[in-house]
């Protein structure tokens, strides 16, 4: 069990140049709770915003939109899909489920 938790903590997260990153105000009441919990990367590429948790746009949980909020809401919708029909062979989905199943009492 401990090995599984350590494995999921080490999930690879995509990164982009600092100038492409967009700060997410986690105190904003309109931000989906999943964004507060997982703190995905939010960035702009050309005329579109992307929100991703995982190593890249192909293997991660991704949301996109022409506005920041559209990208965040699309990402939240896709996280919920992962939870409802989990692919337990997918390390990002495994990380999401492990995180949601781990209480603060397990950590402290």
pLDDT tens-place string over residues 6-28: 444 568 899 999 999 999 999 99
**What is the rounded distance in angstroms from the CA atom of residue 40 to the CA atom of residue 95?**
13
Residue 75 CB coordination number (10 Å): 27
What's the confidence (pLDDT) of residue 16? 94
What's the confidence (pLDDT) of residue 101? 87
Q: Where are the domains of the chain?
A: 2-107
Rounded percentage of the chain residues whose pLDDT exceeds 90: 74
Structure tokens at 11: 């999930």
The sign of the dihedral angle between the CA atoms of 29, 31, 34, 38 is: negative
Beta strand segments in 1-108, E: 41-45, 48-53, 61-65
pLDDT bin (cut points 50, 70, 90) of residue 106 is low
Element (H, E) at 27: none
**What is the rounded distance in angstroms from the CA atom of residue 80 to the CA atom of residue 63?**
12
């Amino acid at each position: 069990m401990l090995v599984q938790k350590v494995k999921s903590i080490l999930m690879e997260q995509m990164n982009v140049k600092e100038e492409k990153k967009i700060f997410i105000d986690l105190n904003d009441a309109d931000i989906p709770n999943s964004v507060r919990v997982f703190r995905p990367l939010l960035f702009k590429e050309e005329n579109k915003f992307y929100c991703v948790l995982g190593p890249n746009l192909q293997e991660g949980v991704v949301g996109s939109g022409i506005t920041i909020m559209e990208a965040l809401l699309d990402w939240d919708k896709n996280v919920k899909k992962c939870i409802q029909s989990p692919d337990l062979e997918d390390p990002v989905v495994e990380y999401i489920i492990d995180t949601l199943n781990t209480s603060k009492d397990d950590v402290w």
